A and B are shown apart, each in its own frame.
Chain A
Amino acid sequence: MGEIAIRVEGIGKQYRIGKREQYKTLRDTLVSAFTTPLRKAGKVLRGEGGDSGESDQILWALEDISFQVKRGEVIGVIGGNGAGKSTLLKILSRITEPTVGFAEIQGRVGSLLEVGTGFHPELTGRENIYLNGAILGMKQTDIDRQFDEIVAFSEVERFIDTPVKHYSSGMYLRLAFAVAAHLEPEILLIDEVLAVGDAGFQKKCLGKMGNVAKEGRTVLFVSHNLGAITQLCGTAVQLEKGRLKRVGPASEVVAAYLSAVVDTELRPSWSSDSCNLNHAESRFRSARLLSVEKQPMATVHFDSPFLIELTYDVTVSIRDLSISYKVYDYQGNLVFESMDTDMPEWKGRVREPGRYCSTCQVFPSFLKPGRYYVALSSFVERVKIVERQDNVLSFDVSEIGYPLNPDRLGIVSPIFPWTVRPCD
């Protein structure tokens, strides 16, 4: 056991969906209390929460997960949305219990599922450092000792005695991360906390993480940032739909994940049936991200073009309809907008009722590596907006093979020709 810091054996976590997110109201309770009074009361008293009606659907967020982490190892956990990464982290952090299986952790654990947990807006920066530190499990003497370092790291010295509600969001995050970065447990469990702040601060945080790893501490790191995983972690674990898919050297797991993500992730399909747009002249039906070979995909290589395919129904004949999409970066900056009426042949034309498909070919070579979000809209120019759908698609531009220095400023990174020669 001495060499193993974290041992996970057959862990599974079951959620009841359907009723899980819905708070019970007095009426619900009365209704079920009339139908099944004794069973219900018995369940509440036995501590089962009284919410296990037969109609509930059961979802295994994690199933049969086993792996080991050696002392001093930095391990990354990757997987698509809903793969169970956060659930795994919550179980190892003891925030929630597994339904089956067990885990053993040897050493003092610190977990960071979020930065700034427990920050109180009315308290000053100084007071929040102590409060947040205590919440994260630091001893008061540790905080005293590292206080100046934390303040220096956060770059908010001047405002340390100002209530944090007056901070800008950037200052707030920097202070929050500064406390978290000075946590010194033997085993650190981290979830995506690097995704905060501007590029410069992110770099600083990544550097700090690298140091933590070098100090020989055991780190389990959950992230969407595959670049950070390959950079920081020796080993990686890939989860898929709650099951363990791969364990191995980080670079191999990441590469396998990237190539497989195209087949497995069904993100690009989406339906707007739930929207209430009965009177709209047109309605979006689906939006997909396709390779030029018409294969669904989620990760875009910076130098190969891809397609954004928008399917929509036109309900009444309409002139001058524009179908448009906007691409936002991970910070919500609008990167660009494109519309099908950019093509002169669709300007001023009438679309008769029926189903249409507008496909746009995108050349992503000007996009920086990172995550992008797509919003849709349809409108009649200078007349009306017919429909808007935000956050319909997301895609990642991979950084593998990206030729430019990624630290440059600006939202886009176009590649322009340069000539360099000695001047006369």
Chain B
Amino acid sequence: MKDAAEIIRIVPTQGWAALRLKELWAYRELLYFLVWRDVKVRYKQTALGAIWAILQPVFTMVVFSLFFGRLGKMPSDGLPYPLFSFAALVPWTYFSHGLSQASNSLVGSANLIKKVYFPRLAIPIASVASGLIDFALAFLVLLGMMLYYGILPGSKVIVLPLLLLLTLVTSLGVSLWLSALNVHFRDVRHVIPFLTQLWLFSTPIAYPSSLLSEPWRTVYSINPMVGVVEGFRWALLGTDTAPGPMIIVSSVAAVVILVSGVFYFRRLEKTFADVV
């Protein structure tokens, strides 16, 4: 009876619930298995398998290069347009996939939620985290393209993990809001494709943020994906769209979304099993 001193108190929570992140840590093994399951199952019974992870950003890049790059003569900060757009599409695809998967994750796990107790935060976190495999595959393609165009990253590449973290934080933050809302309002499911499309065009993926002049460029980066995308280009391709203030604004925005998302999620969590 090594845990004999442990007493679980079951009481109704009033108002804003504590975050209980320690408990989430205690359930890290479950989190690992949920990620492992999502990764294992994702491309089961598909003909192309993991190629899907690459196809979507690559085809979007081709279409963008044709219409915006070739026909629209969109400026690309002096870079080859395909590389310019693909460097943005890789984190973007991770973000938008994570968002749509995680937002439906609670409703998709209704059976688990009704039958077993565990910190519900594990479900959207696992969904967002499992997309990292797809990101890694698409990132390899990006490296291949950089070799092809003969553009090698400088020492700035060491901040790339931080930029990836920023992507993850943004994706998770938005997902927490949407997944919790989705339990009560199934409208969310219909909003997501629309939302990601609008978000795609309000992020400098097909065009450079240098089209905007300061201070509007910094204001624009309240959209955290602006900082992510311009950060990726800066760290990998060496664009001189000075990312400093943009990344700071984006990071603050992302953290605000995440923290508010966690609190909102925890607030609604107690109703999940009854409503989902």
Q: Is B214 an interface residue (CB 8 A)?
A: no
| Residue in B36, B45, B115, B184 whose CB lies within 8 Å of A95 | B115
Q: Mark A67-104, 1 if CB is under 8 A from B, else 0.
A: 00000000000000000000000111111111111111
Q: Is B7 an interface residue (CB 8 A)?
A: yes
SS class, residues of chain B in contact with chain A: helix
Contact status A20-B275, CB under 8 Å: yes
Q: Is B62 an interface residue (CB 8 A)?
A: no
How many A-B Cβ pairs are below 8 Å?
129
Q: Is B270 an interface residue (CB 8 A)?
A: yes
Which residue of chain B has the shortest Cβ distance to A47 in the bound complex?
Answer: B267
A92 to B16, CA, bound (A): 22
A93 to B115, CA, bound (A): 9
Which residue of chain A has the shortest Cβ distance to B275 in the bound complex?
Answer: A49
With a CB–CB cut-off of 8 A, which chain B residues contact A98? 10-12
A58 to B266, CA, bound (A): 24
Question: If A105-B7, A122-B41 touch, does A96 touch B116 (CB 8 Å cutoff)?
Answer: no
Interface size on B, residues (CB 8 A): 45
With a CB–CB cut-off of 8 A, which chain B residues contact A108? 3, 6
A26 to B11, CA, bound (A): 34
Interface size on A, residues (CB 8 A): 53
Contact status A186-B45, CB under 8 Å: no
Question: If A134-B33, A135-B33, A136-B116 touch, does A26 touch B10 (CB 8 Å cutoff)?
Answer: no
Question: If A24-B184, A25-B186, A105-B7 touch, does A135 touch B112 (CB 8 Å cutoff)?
Answer: yes
A139 to B185, CA, bound (A): 35
Q: Is A411 an interface residue (CB 8 A)?
A: no
Q: Is B22 an interface residue (CB 8 A)?
A: no
Ordered by A's residue number, 23 sampled pairs between the chains whose C-beta atoms are within 8 Å are A15-B274, A24-B186, A44-B184, A47-B264, A47-B267, A49-B184, A90-B273, A95-B116, A97-B12, A99-B12, A103-B9, A104-B10, A105-B10, A111-B117, A113-B116, A117-B116, A122-B44, A123-B37, A131-B36, A134-B32, A135-B116, A137-B118, A139-B29
User: B-contacting residues of A (Cβ < 8 Å)?
Assistant: 1, 15, 20, 23-26, 29, 44-47, 49-51, 90-109, 111, 113-114, 117-118, 120, 122-123, 127, 130-131, 134-137, 139-140, 186
Taking A113-B115, A186-B1, A186-B3 as known contacts, 13 extra A-B pairs with beta carbons closer than 8 A to each other, sorted by chain A number, are: A24-B186, A25-B187, A44-B184, A47-B268, A49-B184, A50-B184, A93-B117, A95-B273, A98-B12, A102-B9, A103-B10, A107-B6, A113-B116
Q: Ordered nearest first, which 10 A-B pairs have the shortest CB separation?
A: A47-B267, A134-B33, A94-B117, A103-B10, A122-B44, A102-B11, A96-B273, A105-B8, A117-B115, A113-B115
